[in-house]
Amino acid sequence: MSSTSMLGTLLTLPEIAATAMTRDDASPIIALSSQARSKGYEVVCLPLTTDSWKKRWTEMCLLPTGADLAADMAAEKLAEAWRTKPYFLLDEVTITQLEEAEGVTAIASEWLELDASDDWALQQELAYAAYLNIHATILPPPRNREHVTSYARAVNACLKTHPYMHLSIRLPIYNPTVLEGHLTPLPDSMSPQLLGSLSPTPSTPRLVVSDDRSSDSPPTNLDATWEMWDVIRSICDYNTRLTLTLDLTPPLPVNSGFLSKWKAEAIRYLFLPASTFIANSKGYPVLPKGTQSFIRASMMASGSTMCQHRPVIILSGANQGLHALGGELAYSQYLRHIEKTSPAFQALNTSGTVENFAQGYQDYLQAPLQPLMDNLQSVTYQTFEQDPVKYHNYEEAIYHAVLDWPGDHKIIICVAGAGRGPLVARSLIAVQRAGRDAHIYAVEKNPNAYVTLQGRHEAEWGDQVTLLFGDMRHIEVPETADILVSELLGSFGDNELSPECLDGAIRFLKPDGISIPSSYTAHLAPLSSAKLFNEARIGKEEKNLETPYVVMFQAVNILSGDGSSTNGRCGPQVQECWEFEHPRRDAVLDQRGLPLTNSHNARSAKLNFFIPHAGVLHGLAGYFEAVLYGNIGLSIHPHRKDRISKDMLSWFPLFFPFKEPLYLPSNSELQVSIWRLTNQRQVWYEWHAEAFLNVIGEPSLETEVPLPSPRSANFASGSFFSSPPRNTPSPLFDASAANDTSSFTFDRRVSVDSMVPPGPRLIKIGHTSLHNPGGRSSWIGL
């Protein structure tokens, strides 16, 4: 059973003051902390400084309007004196002993102004917190968008000065002013300071401490706070000690696309005041639907059993008696309840699910297997043999293929790449189920697995199976096969060199023989994930960003949306790159039946994605889908896997990282180019992306750019005999899938007039580097 999320509580200055007055023990903090822990809170947050410090700081640093020059000079003298001797007076801080600070998350003074180039006060607080062995401090939000770069610069400076301190930026989940009049009024208890002002109207620096939201500020967008966060973490260069404290005070809409971007961000705390709860019919506190589902998603966002990857939910005001029934504990009990009843939590704790199988592997980067170059270990085979779905589907495919042969025909099956024998065993079962006569050749080049095969041959299979040792690209087989069964697929379909290996194995398939799989396709989607970006660049060498990784995605966000609103320029959320078919009917072969060069296995694709909400591109998610036989397949395509091979465990998606993040505004379009390249010794991928914005307005000679025509989205593959157009309906779905948008997009697209409308035009706004491993790390040896 996975552990649940941590809960925390917020101590306030009045609470601390009240406790100090009613108790005679020396430390109200220790009393309150142990009270909080007895109520089940694992984290205690409290402000580091008191009103005395606020008063001194205000007198020194917040000058009057300049009308009184003498007063200004006096204040500046005090400030300069403080800067030369930057210490607190005893009554200016809440905590003074190590014991009080244990397990505490500090909250930096909310009234601090981090927008100026002067970050003395924050540095002083952090130095004091570090002195007390406090490892995490929550910072107040930037005051507005206009000052965010200065705020971020100051935070970056603090991260460098305090190398063991984690800083967490408090931000409202969106700018609530935009919804004023649209949704319920904001709760009274919401502190304007906490929410910050996202108004672009500049406040006069150093003059206004509290609410500087001006009533005439123009509306801002729903992405505004995320955009601020992106500036801050970018300026801090994705520092892993910098996280978010997301303030859930504003009411959340249900199922709104703009919230999903937070999933890809480093959220350390969720700030949840009791006032955000509503009363259910009985009077107990419950959360509004939108907030409920966001918290559920966030609790699982990282899904990892490592607790540091799950946000801590900080409750505040739970002891204020805002709700009629349940008392203080009702809030945390309710949160535990919604966590444990969430589908994601249950999947994680149910054996047989991918979520359960993948525990500990979420967002963990693994180098893809290279089973052609490396001989796999027995334990690797064992892991993948546990997949209950993959071998079931293979058996069904073989069964139907066998049935399609005449009843009196003795069927020759060749298992190319037999490993430890699971497909041989399934072939035998399929043949038996079909009531047919068959002989099976099992080809394997891994000398170690070949020992296991010999064991099973003796113990289980007998004369119905012939073992052959050798590489399927070179070995000679005694007779040609009716059915060639192989499982050489990678997460991206062809990335474990299935096309190249089957080019060799197809020699011993009869001209009318069947290959299982008969085809496979590679699919891509643009991805945002601060965590994966950081993981990929951790390695010392640049090559770490030139290779794709196998990853069980968790804290990621697919940036693309359905492109149907783009006049046919953009395809669906996840798009097909290319296809390989077996057997290849058009091959140019030498006398031995082998291709002369590997150029026919080169591929390329250019995909247009629609980006509905602003986000940062960190990489590409790669998936595959294979047709085994007829309508039996394997798929890790996020929209189709559940219908084709639900609960299949063997493949996590591929992650193609980008070296530098690429910012994508709302309603932009992303053109992704990807190549599968080959020479006589190697296969590798290269990838690149360009961003465009569709601008509507008067066309002007100086800025006019043509829209790409719909037909141009997919350029020629390297093969002379090109594959059928992508986005044709998948053979894996029958007619009942006609309302599946992704499989029918192509038809809509070709019907769009290829002429460009006069108004809108695409403007290029950015691009990534080309990722090209060349002859370096990430090619796959042939």
Residues placed in the known binding site: 381, 390-391, 444, 471-472
Tokens at 70, concatenated:
């003498």
Looking at residues 751 to 770 of the shown chain, list those that interact with a second copy (rule: CB under 8 A): 754-756, 763-767, 769-770
Stretch that binds a second copy, among 266-274, 291-299, 451-459, 655-663 (CB under 8 A): 655-663
533 is an interface residue for a second copy by CB under 8 A? no
Residues pairing with 469 in the sheet: 444
Interaction of residue 224 with a second copy, rule CB under 8 A:
yes
User: What's the min distance (Å) between Cβ of 566 and a second copy?
Assistant: 15
750, 727 Cβ separation under 8 angstroms: no
Q: According to the binding rule CB under 8 A, does residue 690 interact with a second copy? A: yes
Q: Does residue 542 contact residue 568 with C-beta atoms inside 8 Å?
A: no
CA-wise closest residue to 523 among 715, 742, 692, 370 = 742
Alpha carbon of residue 132 to chain centroid: 36
Q: 265 or 355: whose CB is closer to a second copy?
A: 265
Q: Does 541 bind a second copy (CB under 8 A)?
A: no
Quick one: which of 614, 600, 608 has its CA closest to 564?
Answer: 608
Residue 170 beta carbon to a second copy: minimum distance, rounded to whole angstroms: 21
d(CA 311, CA 558): 21
Q: Binding site membership for S-adenosyl-L-methionine: which residues?
A: 381, 390-391, 444, 471-472
Report the residue from 693, 737, 752, 782 that binds a second copy according to the rule CB under 8 A.
693
- Whether 496 is catalytic is yes
Check binding of 217 to a second copy (CB under 8 A).
yes
Q: CA 225 to CA 234: how far, in whole Å?
A: 14
Site string for a second copy, 712-741 (x = CB under 8 A): x--xxxx-xx--------------------
Cβ-in-10-Å burial (0-12, 13-18, 19+) of 236 comes to buried
Stretch touching a second copy by CB under 8 A, among 211-219, 285-293, 408-416, 453-461: 211-219
Annotated active-site residue in 110, 355, 496, 500: 496
Please report the DSSP string for 208-251 in residue order: --S----TTPPP--TTHHHHHHHHHHHHTTT-TTEEEEEE--S-
Site membership for a second copy, residue 147 (CB under 8 A): yes
Residue 336 and residue 32 in contact, taking contact as beta carbons nearer than 8 Å: no
Per rule CB under 8 A, count of chain residues that contact a second copy: 112
Positions 597 through 626 that interact with a second copy (CB under 8 A): 597, 599, 602-604, 606, 612-614
Q: Which two tokens stand for residue 351?
A: 């054996």
Helix, strand, coil share of the chain (percent; to 5)? 35, 25, 40
Tell me how far, at minimum, the Cβ of 541 lies from a second copy, in Å.
Answer: 15
Per CB under 8 A, the list member of 42, 146, 328, 385 interacting with a second copy is 146
Indicate whether 542 belongs to the interface with a second copy (CB under 8 A).
no
Residues 666-685 within binding reach of a second copy (CB under 8 A): 666-667, 671, 673, 675-677
Nearer to a second copy, 349 or 769 (CB): 769
DSSP letter for each residue of 132-192: TT--EEEEPPPS-GGGHHHHHHHHHHHHHH-TT-EEEEEEESS-GGGGTTTSPPPPTT--H
Length of the chain: 782
Q: Which residue number, 222 or 287, has a Cβ lying nearer to a second copy?
A: 222
Beta strands in 242-325 (DSSP E): 242-247, 267-273, 278-279, 285-286, 312-316
Complex with a second copy: residue 646 or 711, whichever CB lies closer? 711
Rule CB under 8 A: choose which of 410, 703, 731, 750 binds a second copy: 703
Q: Which stretch binds a second copy (CB under 8 A): 149-157, 267-275, 344-352, 367-375?
A: 149-157
Residues near 412 by beta carbon (within 8 Å), at least 6 away in sequence: 438, 439, 440, 441, 479, 480, 481, 482, 483, 510
State yes or no: residue 187 binds a second copy (CB under 8 A): no
Site for a second copy contains 39 (CB under 8 A): no
89-108 residues in contact with a second copy (CB under 8 A) are: none
**Contacts of a second copy in 117-136 (CB under 8 A):** 117-118, 120
Positive or negative torsion for Cα 545, 547, 548, 550: negative
Among 99, 704, 734, 753, binds a second copy (CB under 8 A): 704
Of 20, 30, 183, 695, the one binding a second copy by CB under 8 A: 695
What are the start-end ranges of the H helices in 404-440?
422-434
The span from the CA of 221 to the CA of 244, in Å, is 19
Q: Which is nearer to a second copy, 373 or 589 (CB)?
A: 589
CA distance 641 to 354: 12
Residue of 181, 218, 462, 511 interacting with a second copy (CB under 8 A):
218
| Residue 341 CB contacts under 8 Å (≥ 6 apart), including other chains | none
Positions in 245-264 near a second copy (CB under 8 A): 258
Least distance CB 227 / a second copy (angstroms): 6
Dmax (CA) for the chain in angstroms is 110
CA separation for the pair 604, 714 (Å, rounded): 8
What does DSSP assign to residue 708?
P
Contacts with a second copy in 291-330 (CB under 8 A)? none
- The two beta strands, 104-107 and 136-139, are parallel
For a second copy, which residue of 92, 110, 115, 546 counts as binding (CB under 8 A)?
Answer: 115
- From 185, 192, 202, 321, residue interacting with a second copy (rule: CB under 8 A): 202
Kindly tell me which residue out of 81, 306, 324, 329 binds a second copy, with binding defined by CB under 8 A: 81
| 704 CB neighbour count, 10 Å cutoff | 12
Letters for 543-582 (x = contact with a second copy by CB under 8 A, - = none) are ----------------------------------------
Which region among 127-135, 231-239, 406-414, 568-576 touches a second copy (by CB under 8 A)? 231-239
In this structure, are residues 657 and 535 in contact, taking their beta carbons and an 8 Å threshold?
no
Question: Which one from 100, 395, 396, 487 is the annotated catalytic residue?
Answer: 487
99 is catalytic: no
Residues with a known catalytic role: 487, 496
